[in-house]
Structure 1
Amino acid sequence: MPRRWLMAALLALVPAGAGATPVNAYPDIARAYWVEIDGRPAWAGNADQAMPVASLAKLMAALVLDEEADLAGTVTVSRAASAATGTRLGVRAGETYLASDLFSAMLVRSANDVCRALADWHGGGDDDTFVARMNARAAELGMVSTRFANACGHDAPGQGSSARDLALLARAVMARPRIMEDARRESFAFASLDGRRFSVRSTNALLGQFPGAIGLKTGFTPGAGRCLVALAERDGHEVLAILLHAPDRWWDTVGLLELAFDQARRNAPPE
């Protein structure tokens, strides 16, 4: 076990009570992080520092769409969406899809072109209108360190959130069954209305590999580094972990989740 994880295991013995200030037990795990065990804050570092969050922004896009849009409708891909950069599926301007299929592809594969297509569609052809709704919803959730400049998480001036704010967003997302169904998908297949087929795999390496992993979202840009919102359930316990700009997000998250489940078992009342 690396030295920092030995120290972490010792620090993990400190219980976190309801409303307690989270302990900064892992100062080198990520530039900022937040961990909740069974809904209670346990460990955090730089939790209120606003920074780029890459495709974790798509969780807010998904929340707005799931709450407001008719996902049984159809979306015609805009020219701007077809030209989106970063992770993309290659949808073409003028093609038409079920909104629900693009919604799933956005969450499973984190595709920027389908994210932009949905933003343009729900924004009445205007991405800025959709982004304004994302910012309004963030304010409603009390995300005081959050500001979106685009829908899909591209690095941009004024685009950022904090680990604490993302925990608020994660809780709102966890109350939406449709989003959670997509967040736990390891793969997804769909087709345009004219029959062009796609098959995508999740960007979340924890799914199907870490026992109990059920979501939620990955992200990467040069400005944000490697980001992750991880959710896992095991033996009646739930752990939510958020890592921003994490050098080794997969192995460190696995270690973090295991330590959190160990603490949850220690703190469980006797039967």
Structure 2
Amino acid sequence: MRHAAILALACWLGAAPAVAREPVDAYPDIAAAYWVEVDDTPLWAGKADQALPIASLTKLMTALVAVEHGDLDAVATVSRTAAAETGSRLGLRAGERIRRSDLLAALLVRSANDACRALADDIGGDEPRFIARMNARAAELGMARTRFANACGHDDDDNRSSVRDLAVLARAVLAQPVLAADAARTEFAFATLDGRRYTMRSTNALLGSLDGARGLKTGWTPGAGRCLVAFVERDGRRVLAILLHAPDRWWDSVGVIELAFAQPRAPR
């Protein structure tokens, strides 16, 4: 079910599946795997436990490890490996000095791989040691179908997760106020300690266009396709939607999010 069909369901709410204790696969065509929950209660999911490539959704764990490590006011020096990162990037230069907090915001707002790698290198000492921290944290969170092979989400057979695991990760990220605030930014600007300025806009098209959208992370690689973790708040309710390898992540995520908000509130 795609595009007009999902929007038609959003208009005719009687066709929406009822809330169930376990998520049901109501919309199998919107993504290779997906997850939708309201107020931490799962509604709908497809292939919830299948490990798939997740592209830059990987950066949610990078961000979580960085915040839990602390000392975000510390200054990182951009390594040559970070400056040489490919894909989405700011164009950081080797030797530039940047506060960790600014690198953190840049990896969440713009999904910048050079900022991501600079942060991982600085905190871990090098990327392999930082990746070890990422995998250890995933194990602590019970993310049994998740394995990280790099800090930024490049295609790798060993860099995978499931939508159920990503929901766990998203909740952990949202519990960190600095990460929730950065993920909700529509734009961001900072200056290095050397005086060079960077400005950027969010990769998340839902911010500023969907009522209540608060982030959380986008991703794309050839292997993972278009991915999205979307978090929306309205009138005291929270919807989390996760799509992996989604043909039309913006249109279809809006459809299932609207349907989720239309569900009756759970009795207290």
- 1:120-160, Cα deviation, whole Å (9 max, x unpaired): 00111x10000000000000000000000000000012110
Q: How does 1:223-262 map to 2 (within 5 A)?
A: 223-262=223-262
Q: How does 1:25-64 map to 2 (within 5 A)?
A: 25-64=26-65
- In 2, Cα distance between equivalents of 1:48 and 1:186: 31
TM-score (norm 2): 0.95
Matched, 1:107 2:91: no
Equivalent position of 2:68 in the other structure: 67
Offset at residue 11 of structure 1 (A): 5.2
Structure 1 stretch 4-13 or stretch 238-247: which is displaced more? 4-13
Q: State the Cα RMSD in Å.
A: 1.5
Equivalent position of 1:162 in the other structure: 162
Query: Is the 8 Å Cα contact of residues 207 and 214 (structure 2) preserved in structure 1?
Result: yes
- In 2, Cα distance between equivalents of 1:210 and 1:131: 34
The structure-2 alpha-carbon separation of the partners of 1:10 and 1:145, relative to structure 1 and needing over 3 Å to count, comes to: farther
Query: Is the 8 Å Cα contact of residues 187 and 199 (structure 1) preserved in structure 2?
Result: yes
- In 1, Cα distance between equivalents of 2:100 and 2:4: 46
Equivalent position of 2:82 in the other structure: 81
Secondary structure, counterpart of 1:146 in structure 2? coil
- 1:175-195, Cα deviation, whole Å (9 max, x unpaired): 000000101000000011111
Secondary structure, counterpart of 2:67 in structure 1? helix
Equivalent position of 2:131 in the other structure: 131
Q: How does 1:198-237 map to 2 (within 5 A)?
A: 198-237=198-237
- In 2, Cα distance between equivalents of 1:11 and 1:66: 42
* One-letter identity of the residue aligned with 2:45: A
Secondary structure, counterpart of 1:62 in structure 2? helix
* One-letter identity of the residue aligned with 1:21: E
Q: How does 1:185-204 map to 2 (within 5 A)?
A: 185-204=185-204
- In 2, Cα distance between equivalents of 1:179 and 1:141: 17
The structure-2 alpha-carbon separation of the partners of 1:11 and 1:25, relative to structure 1 and needing over 3 Å to count, comes to: farther
The structure-2 alpha-carbon separation of the partners of 1:7 and 1:255, relative to structure 1 and needing over 3 Å to count, comes to: closer
Secondary structure, counterpart of 1:215 in structure 2? strand
Equivalent position of 1:267 in the other structure: 265
Identity rate, percent: 66
Equivalent position of 1:24 in the other structure: 25
Gap regions ≥5 residues in structure 2: none
- In 1, Cα distance between equivalents of 2:5 and 2:168: 32
Query: Is the 8 Å Cα contact of residues 233 and 239 (structure 1) preserved in structure 2?
Result: yes
- In 1, Cα distance between equivalents of 2:250 and 2:221: 16
Give the number of equivalent residue pairs: 264
TM-score (norm 1): 0.94
The structure-2 alpha-carbon separation of the partners of 1:5 and 1:24, relative to structure 1 and needing over 3 Å to count, comes to: farther
Query: Is the 8 Å Cα contact of residues 69 and 122 (structure 1) preserved in structure 2?
Result: no
